[in-house]
Amino acid sequence: MTGDPNRTWTFLTNHARVLISIAETPGIRLRDIAARIGITERATQRIVAELESAGYLSHEKEGRRNHYHLQPDTRLRHPLDHDIEISELIELFVSRPSRGDAAEPG
């Protein structure tokens, strides 16, 4: 993190930030996630592998790139949060067009 030296922690982990980045852009490259979050590409690879291993996401090859798929009904890992699905977390951070943004049928 750059900026204020007093900012030594954040509320979201890098795992959450990677998951949110993938939710926003399922075809995003790992190097772009790394640059966005401010971690190395290797750390991003490790986090994605851990998220896949834990069942939070999967991927398929589309040409030379990966396309990621979230498993929205997977629950958070901590015992205090186990009743929360990741879809609820994602909805807090991923902007989606509101109903008012869509063109109304004429």
| Tens digit of each residue's pLDDT (9 = 90 or more) over 17-69 | 999 999 999 999 999 999 999 999 999 999 999 999 999 999 999 998 999 99
| E-strand stretches of the chain | 57-62, 65-70
pLDDT bucket at 3, cuts 50 / 70 / 90: low
Quick count: other Cβ atoms within 10 Å of Cβ 87? Answer: 14
Domains of the chain: 14-93 (1.10.10.10)
Q: How far apart are the first and last CA of the chain?
A: 48
pLDDT at 105 over 70: no
pLDDT for res 25: 95
Q: In the structure encoding, which two tokens stand for residue 95, read together? A: 């902007």
The pTM of the full predicted model, rounded to 2 decimals, is: 0.80
pLDDT at 102 over 50: no
